[in-house]
Amino acid sequence: MKKYVVILLALIFLTSLVLSKEIKNYSNSFFGVYGKQASVMGKVDGSAFEIWIYPYKVLHDLRFRVLVDGAEEDPYVRLGEFYFSHTAFEREFIGEKWTISETLFPAWAEAGVFLVLRVNALTDITLEFFFKPDLSPMWPASIGGKYSYFNEEGFFVLSESTSKNFAFFGGYKGEKVGTLPAHKLPGGKLRYRIPLKKGYHEIPLCAAAGHGKYKQIIERFHETRKQSGHYLKEREKIITDFLRDHLFVETPDVLFNEAMQWSTLNVYTAFVDNPDLGEGLIAGYGLSGERERPGFGWYFGGDGLINSYAVVNYGDFTGAGKEIEFLLKYQRGDGKIMHELSQGAKFIDWFGDYGFPYFHGDTTLYFASFLDFYLTRTGDIGLITRNRKKIDKIFSWMLKCDADKDGIVETKLAGVGASETGPLRQKMKTDIFLASLSVKSWEAMQRIYTLLRNNKNARIAKERFLRSGKALEAMFWDDER
C-alpha cells in the first residue's frame, strides 16, 4: 500500500518554486495568467486573446505579424516552444530572419497587463499589432459613446463621452495604421506598427484601465509600463512564497503532486480585488470572445464557499476569512447571503434591478456550514464576535424559511438549490441538496451559538438539527432501493 506523506514546504524549494510546463505538441490550448486586478487569456495558436482589467474588458483578438522586405509573415504558423506557469505565459516564434519570444502576464495587485517581446532580427523588420478595442464593463453593464485615438508617444487611448472611463494599450514608439472615426470605436481593428532595425530589441507593451480623471489614470499607465521587469519578479516572489508557506503534498506519483500544486495556485489566483467591490473569490476564468464575461469571472457565493474549504485546508486562513467578510458585506437585510455579483455592478443597480443576486437559497446554508468549518480549523472567535448581528440575521432567515419547523428549508421561501429551472422546481417542497445543507447548517449554528454563549439559539438550532435529519430520511430514503 502506498504511503502518502504530507509536509509543509521549507527551505528546500526557496530558489525556484514556480510551476511551469513546456509543451511542444498543441492544438488550440487555452492559456491564462491572473492577477488580483487584471488577467490575460487566449489560445496558444493565437486564435484568441483578451485582456481584462477589472471591471473592464480592454481589448480582444490581439495578434501581430512581421513585415520583412515588404512581405507579411504570420508568426503564429512559426510557433516554437511555449511555457505555462502561474507567473507568466511564454511562447517563441521562429522565422528565417528573426526570432521573437513573448512573455504575457498581469501585475499581481495592480491594474496592468504586460506583453514583453524580445526580438532578434537579422535584417530590418516591422511588427504590426492589431486588435479589437472594447472598454466594456462586465455584463450586464455597458458604456455608450465610446471612441479611440492614437497618442504619438506610441499608445492607443480608449474612452467615452463622459470622460470617466479610460483604457490604454501600447507604450513603445510606433505609428498607427489607417484613420480612426472621431466619435465612435472603429468597426474593425486598431493597428499599430513598430519599425525595428537589425539587431536585438526588447519591446514592453502595457495595457491599463480605470475609472476617474484622465490625468490620474494616464500617469498610472506611464508609471506602470516602465516597470515590467519589477512586476514579473514580484509575481514570481509572491507565488514562490505562497507555495513555501502553505500545504505541500508529496506522494510517489509525481503527476499527482504537480496537479495538487497547480490546483492550489488556481484557487489562490481566483481571489480578485475589484476596485469598486472589494476582494473575494470568483468562480473561474474563461474566454469571453465577443461577449462581456470571462467564463464565470463573477463573485459567486456558493462557488466561493465551496472553494474556501480548500483555502482553509491548504492553510490560507487569511484568505478564507477574507471570503467570509466579503460575503457578509453584501448580505441582504433579511440575512440572506448573496448568490452572485457581477464585476460590472458599479455601473448599474445590480441589487435593485436584477433578479440574480439572491436567486439561490443554498448559498446561505453553505455559508453557515463553512463558517463552522472555518471556526473549527482556525479558532477565530473574533470573526463571529464582531459579526454577531449578521449571524443572527442568518439564523432568523433560516427559521423563516423553515415554515413547518421540520428543519428543512423550503424552496419557495429560501430560493433554489440544485434545481434552478423547470417544472420540477415548482412542484417540490425542496430538493435533496437544500435538504442536506439544511441538516448541516443547523448543526453548524448549534456550535456557533455555543461559542457565542447564546444558549437559547443553540438549543433551537439543536432541535431543528435533530428534526431535519429525520425529515431528510423521510423525504429521500427508500428502503426498497
Same domain, residue pair 454 and 359: yes
Same domain, residue pair 180 and 231: yes
Residue 82 has pLDDT above 80, yes or no: yes
Q: How many residues does the chain have?
A: 481
Task: Calculate mean pLDDT across residues 3-29.
Answer: 46
The DSSP result for 32-61, as a single string, is: EEE-SSEEEEEETTSS-EEEEETTEEEEEE
Query: For residue 25, what pLDDT is reported?
Result: 63
Query: For residue 188, what pLDDT is reported?
Result: 86
Residue 232 has pLDDT above 90, yes or no: yes
Last residue of a domain, one of 207, 236, 265: 236
Last residue of a domain, one of 212, 236, 260: 236
Same domain, residue pair 106 and 198: yes
Q: Are 152 and 227 in contact (CB under 8 A)?
A: no
Residue 11 has pLDDT above 50, yes or no: no
Count of other CB atoms within 10 angstroms of residue 189: 17
- 38 found inside a domain: yes
Same domain, residue pair 369 and 469: yes
Query: For residue 178, what pLDDT is reported?
Result: 84
Query: For residue 27, what pLDDT is reported?
Result: 59
pLDDT over 70 percentage in the chain? 92
How many structural domains comprise the chain? 2
Task: Calculate mean pLDDT across residues 193-197.
Answer: 98
Same domain, residue pair 225 and 268: no
Q: What is d(CA 120, CA 104) in angstroms, rounded to the nearest whole number?
A: 18
Last residue of a domain, one of 176, 203, 236: 236
Residue 13 has pLDDT above 70, yes or no: no
Residue 17 has pLDDT above 90, yes or no: no
Same domain, residue pair 213 and 276: no
Same domain, residue pair 420 and 468: yes
- 10 found inside a domain: no
Residue 229 has pLDDT above 80, yes or no: yes
Same domain, residue pair 204 and 311: no
Task: Calculate mean pLDDT across residues 314-341.
Answer: 98
Q: Exposed, middle or buried by CB within 10 Å (0-12, 13-18, 19+), for 456?
A: exposed
Query: For residue 9, what pLDDT is reported?
Result: 29
Q: Mean pLDDT across the chain, nearest whole number? A: 92
Query: For residue 425, what pLDDT is reported?
Result: 63
What's the Cα-to-Cα distance from 104 to each of 50, 114, 365, rounded to whole Å? 11, 6, 40
| CATH classification at residue 115 | 2.70.98.40
Query: For residue 480, what pLDDT is reported?
Result: 78
- 292 found inside a domain: yes
Question: Model confidence over 111-137: pLDDT tens digits?
Answer: 999 999 999 999 999 999 999 999 999
| CATH classification at residue 469 | 1.50.10.10
Higher pLDDT, 11 or 21: 21
Same domain, residue pair 274 and 152: no
- 470 found inside a domain: yes
Question: Model confidence over 129-175: pLDDT tens digits?
Answer: 999 999 999 999 999 999 999 999 999 999 999 999 999 999 999 99
Of 14-23, 256-265, 311-320, least confident by mean pLDDT is 14-23
Residue 236 has pLDDT above 90, yes or no: yes
Residue 15 has pLDDT above 80, yes or no: no
Structural domain containing residue 275: 250-476
Of 23-32, 231-240, 253-262, 399-408, least confident by mean pLDDT is 23-32
- 3 found inside a domain: no
Same domain, residue pair 215 and 260: no
Helix crossing, 254-268 with 301-313: angle to 10°?
Answer: 130
Same domain, residue pair 282 and 207: no
Query: For residue 418, what pLDDT is reported?
Result: 75
Task: Catalogue the E-assigned strands of 69-198.
Answer: 71-73, 79-85, 89-94, 98-106, 112-121, 125-137, 146-151, 155-160, 165-170, 175-176, 190-196
Whole-model pTM: value is: 0.92
Q: Strand pairing of 89-94 and 175-176? A: unpaired
Q: What is d(CA 39, CA 58) in angstroms, rounded to the nearest whole number?
A: 10
Task: Calculate mean pLDDT across residues 242-252.
Answer: 94
Specify the DSSP element, H or E, that contains 25: none
Distance of CA 450 to the CA centre of its chain: 36
Same domain, residue pair 461 and 428: yes
Query: For residue 424, what pLDDT is reported?
Result: 65
Residue 6 has pLDDT above 70, yes or no: no
